[in-house]
Structure 1
Amino acid sequence: MKTWLITGISSGFGNSLTKLLLEKGDTVIGTVRSDNPKVAALQRDYPDQLDVVHLDVTDTAAIRRVVAEVVAKHGRIDVLINNAGYGLFGAAEELNDQDIDQILQTDLVGSVQMIRSLIPVMRKQGGGRLIQISSYGGQVAFPGNSLYHAAKFGIEGFVESVAQEVAPFNISATIVEPGGARTEFRYGSAHVAKLMPEYDGTPTHAFLKMLDPANGLAPGDPDKMAARIIETVDQKPAPLHLVLDSRARQATIERLTERLKEYQGQAEVAKSTDIEDYRPYNKRLRENFLAAS
């Protein structure tokens, strides 16, 4: 049996993950910002397995306090799932400063600080697993989503670097990149900027169709996605990226292929900026780095 710390279990993937883990007998420490009837029902059904704590992930001091308290109470945390977050829609020009600060503090900084707080815990206990819920929007960008993409592209770069830092301590990391799912992310919790008529009829406001359930629901099943996420914990080596939803996978492959083609076409431009003797310099640098590590 494992002990899991999951942020944002009131709805969406966090709630689906919690239910599945409790059913299999594991212990879940789940964070919520406020009391929630769905979470209260789970507490009644699993009083010895579910530990609910109140946490606003934009409060770094609170993150550190909560992590210290739950580790003292439960002894160890085998898996962290950074799930808390929300979507923000609107052109960059339509967003206000508060919109920008809030999503970056929630979707980016909050996840960074949760991971930073758990690394010493997992290092001292001899290992652990870090799972970051991102989005295929961490690889593929669309108009009307600029700050959401900024947060997701940012957290993916952070986790890719951290995964290399913590590997010597038997800690692994996985970035989960779901496509559209039938959760409150689209149909309830999405934040929309104060829209400007200048963008009406442009691709920037295309997201309005996506947010309206009358236009069709997203294809992803959150319970099936949650099950796939849980299964990765026993995979060795752990997948660094896990894309969920076939359409999201195809869109990601197409975008990465376009990006690769763009870089491949810049060989001469890139070479034209090199210092002539850079090759032996880089070779010495690499030899020194390998010797030091």
Structure 2
Amino acid sequence: MSRVWLVTGASSGFGRAIAEVALDSGDTVVGAARRPGALGDLAAAHPGRVDSVQLDVTAPGAAAVVDDVVTRHGRLDVLVNNAGRTQVGALEETTQDELRYLFDLHFFGPAALTKAVLPHMRRQGGGAVVQMSSVGGQVTAPGFGAYCATKFALEGLTETLAQEVDFGVRFLIVEPGAFRTGLFNPGSAYMSAPLPEYAGTVGPIRDYVTGGDGSQAGDPAKAAAAILTALNADHTPLRLVLGADAVDGIRGRLDRIAVELDTWEPVSRATAFDEP
């Protein structure tokens, strides 16, 4: 049976690639984007199977799009929370408005859409939610504090959902490394106003983001195919790491955590009340 997908941020990057691979597999895609007209060529190539909607996931009431999709198509099988942007800035450089907007975009928006889709998936007996996180959902870097914080939060929520939802919904956290998605384009990458005190730590990251677009090793089309493979597997993984750089970065972090845990384990275990 063909599935109905709702993909946010569907006009470019991972969202566009995911929409294409879903359509190629015979499914129907509701592509949500700020510029839905950018999906016109997909609609022309797949008559009757592309439904473009204008959506800003940070806007009040954005989650109502879920009910609209179910009303028009009768069901919603796969939600892909993909809308996002790059944000670079030390915490001291990042304004409260910038920080709150990024949480609205990467956490509160996806949380609201996920919450909205659960009753529908419960009634229809299952479904899947794909959270487009990042290697930054596990690995940090100077200047990416706000970005990583939003992804850490989304991953924590989703891992908990996988434990508490027991009616057939699969949750997939996708953790890509560097891919050629346009996320580093001047119109996509957002830079907080720099302070000279952070030139040595955040400066190189800012230079990499502003000058690195087009040199990333990752192919978005292959990433989308990998996501589809994971969703179609008998046992969909909770996390899907994409790209050798992401695998290496996450393995390194896990190794550092293990060493620190082992080193401090005697102190950690010695904090209980002494037994009489």
TM-score scaled by length of structure 1: 0.89
Cα 1:216/1:129, change in 2 over 3 Å: closer
Query: Which amino acid in the other structure matches residue 55 of structure 1?
Result: L
- How far apart are the structure 1 equivalents of 2:213 and 2:146? 25
Partner residue, 1:62: 62
Structure 1 residue 47, shift from structure 2 partner: 3.0
Q: Does structure 2 conserve the Cα–Cα contact (< 8 Å) formed by 1:60 and 1:110?
A: no
Letter in 2 for 1:47: P
Distance 2:136 2:223 in 1: 16
Pair member with larger Rg: 1
1:132 maps to a residue whose letter is Q
Answer yes or no: is 1:187 the counterpart of 2:185: yes
Partners of 1:176 and 1:230 in 2: how far apart?
Answer: 11
Q: Distance in 2 between the 1:146 and 1:213 partners?
A: 20
| Residues 93 and 194 in structure 2, CA contact (< 8 A), matched pair in contact too | yes
Contact 1:8 1:83 (8 Å CA) reproduced: yes
Change (3 A) 1:214 1:62: closer
Greater CA deviation, 260-269 or 217-226?
260-269
Q: Structure 1: which 5+ residue stretches go unaligned?
A: 278-293
Instruction: Tell me whether 190-199 or 102-111 shows the greater mean CA deviation.
Output: 190-199
Change (3 A) 1:214 1:17: closer
Q: Any conservation in 2 of the 1:131–1:176 contact (CA below 8 Å)?
A: yes
Residue matched to 1:26: 27
Shift of 1:60: 4.3
8 Å contact kept, 1:209–1:215 = no
Tell me the secondary structure at the aligned position of residue 30 of structure 1: strand
Q: Supply the distance in 2 between the matched residues of 1:259 and 1:48 (Cα, whole angstroms).
A: 50
Residues 244 and 256 of structure 1: CA distance in aligned 2, closer, same or farther (over 3 Å): same
- 1:5 and 2:3 aligned: no
Residue pair 2:180, 2:214 contacting (<8 A) in 1 also: no
Q: If each structure's helix is expressed as a fraction of its own residues, which one has the higher value? A: 1
Secondary structure of the 2:92 match is helix
When the two structures are superposed, what TM-score results if normalisation uses the length of structure 2? Answer: 0.94
Q: How does 1:238-277 map to 2 (within 5 A)?
A: 238-276=236-274
Structure 2 gaps, min length 5: none
Measured at CA, do residues 114 and 276 of structure 1 come closer, stay the same or move farther in structure 2, by a change above 3 Å?
farther
Residue 116 of structure 2: aligned partner: 117
In structure 2, how many angstroms separate the alpha carbons of the residues matched to 1:170 and 1:108? 23
**Superposed displacement of residue 190, structure 1:** 0.9
Aligned partner of 1:236 among 220, 234, 237:
234
What is aligned with 1:165?
Answer: 164
> Is the contact between residue 131 and residue 173 of structure 2 (CA under 8 Å) also seen in structure 1?
yes
Deviations 1:182-238 (A, max 9, x none): 1111224110111112222x1222112322446871110111111101111111211
Please tell me the root mean square deviation across aligned C-alpha atoms, in Å: 1.5
Contact 2:36/2:53, CA 8 A, preserved across alignment? no
